[in-house]
């Protein structure tokens, strides 16, 4: 059995300044499987929160309506990018620049992931934990994003299986990813699964929201989004 949960929380720095959360997330059931997305609007852009929310909404809608595991991953990403550009306006795309991470898992547990920009795709497949996100390039706060990069080569994509209980795909923005060291990365999926596998979706989302709001790293300030698709069972 497959399940999913996701949430976004505003970071202390934005809350104290009275700003909106610049992250967005979503999960939705799809033909016995699940679709999940997270996005992180670039902090230096004035419309970044709108860009992130728009990216998640469009990605969820297009994946829901057009996703077919026989279709090319590039075609789906291109359709989403074009729809996002139209929604935010081509002349304002830079102001709404945002990262976008997506996962689509069919009823058989076959997963495809797309990533443009910062954050992390962390998986547990066949019992093995792996980071699918490529090493960060560029300087300082530079990142790939919708509204900045238009080349297919800017995307990172993968395919794998969720076949065992506890296998999962986790999408997270850098407000979480940057606080996980190498040791924590391997423990993180198991800790998540152990805590939420026995909860209803509503209760698991409530728990996840609480944990991200009260993030354990001292001095954390960034917005945080996490979406998780996992295989339940014994």
Residue-by-residue DSSP string for 222-234: S-EEEEEEEE---
**Residue 8 has what pLDDT?**
96
Whether the CB-CB separation of 2 and 33 falls below 8 Å is answered with yes
Q: How confident is the model at residue 55 (pLDDT cuts 50, 70, 90)?
A: very high
Based on C-alpha coordinates, what's the Rg of the chain? 16
Q: How confident is the model at residue 67 (pLDDT cuts 50, 70, 90)?
A: confident
**Residue 138 has what pLDDT?**
55
**Residue 88 has what pLDDT?**
94
Provide the 8-state DSSP code for 44. Answer: T
**Residue 213 has what pLDDT?**
92
Domains contained in the chain, number: 1
Q: Between 101 and 222, whose confidence is greater? A: 101
**Residue 21 has what pLDDT?**
87
Q: What is the mean pLDDT of the chain?
A: 90
d(CA 20, CA 118): 20
**Residue 43 has what pLDDT?**
78
13-28 average pLDDT score: 85
d(CA 147, CA 216): 33
Q: Between 170 and 140, whose confidence is greater? A: 170
Backbone φ and ψ of 152, nearest 5°: -60, -30
For residue 30, the cross-strand partners are: 33
Query: At residue 220, does pLDDT exceed 70?
Result: yes
d(CA 151, CA 126): 32
22-37 average pLDDT score: 95
Whether the CB-CB separation of 57 and 75 falls below 8 Å is answered with no
**Residue 47 has what pLDDT?**
86
Q: How confident is the model at residue 216 (pLDDT cuts 50, 70, 90)?
A: confident
pTM, rounded to two decimals: 0.94
Q: How many H-runs (helices) and E-runs (strands) does the chain carry?
A: 6, 10
CATH number at residue 120: 3.60.40.10
**Residue 142 has what pLDDT?**
60
What is the domain extent for residue 209? 2-231
Q: Between 228 and 139, whose confidence is greater? A: 228
Provide the 8-state DSSP code for 193. Answer: H
12-31 average pLDDT score: 86
Q: Of the candidates 171, 221, 222, 161, which has an alpha carbon nearest to the alpha carbon of residue 192?
A: 171
Residue-by-residue DSSP string for 77-136: HHHHHHHHHHHH-GGGTGGG-B-EEEEEE-TT-EEEEEEESSSEEEEEETTEEEE-SPPP
Query: At residue 145, does pLDDT exceed 80?
Result: yes
Query: At residue 139, does pLDDT exceed 60?
Result: no
């Amino acid at each position: 059995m497959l399940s999913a949960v996701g949430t976004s929380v505003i970071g202390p720095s934005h809350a104290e300044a009275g700003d909106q959360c610049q992250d967005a997330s979503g999960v939705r059931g799809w033909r016995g499987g699940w679709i999940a997305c997270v996005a992180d609007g670039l902090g230096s852009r004035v419309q970044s929160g709108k860009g992130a929310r728009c990216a998640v909404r469009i990605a969820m809608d297009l994946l829901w309506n057009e996703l077919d595991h026989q279709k090319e991953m590039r075609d789906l990403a291109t359709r989403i990018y074009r729809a996002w550009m139209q929604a935010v306006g081509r002349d304002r795309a830079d102001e709404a620049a945002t990262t976008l991470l997506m996962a689509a898992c069919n009823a058989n547990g076959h997963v495809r992931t797309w990533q443009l920009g910062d954050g992390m795709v962390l998986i547990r497949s066949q019992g093995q934990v792996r980071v699918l996100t490529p090493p960060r390039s560029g300087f300082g706060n530079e990142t790939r994003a919708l509204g900045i990069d238009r080349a297919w080569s800017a995307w990172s994509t993968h395919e794998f299986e969720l076949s065992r209980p506890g296998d999962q795909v986790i999408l997270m923005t850098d407000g979480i990813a940057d606080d996980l060291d190498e040791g924590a990365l391997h423990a993180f999926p198991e800790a998540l699964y152990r805590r939420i596998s026995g909860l209803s979706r509503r209760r698991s989302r409530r728990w996840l929201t609480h944990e991200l709001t009260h993030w354990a790293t001292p001095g954390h300030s960034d917005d945080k989004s996490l979406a998780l698709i996992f295989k339940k069972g014994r």
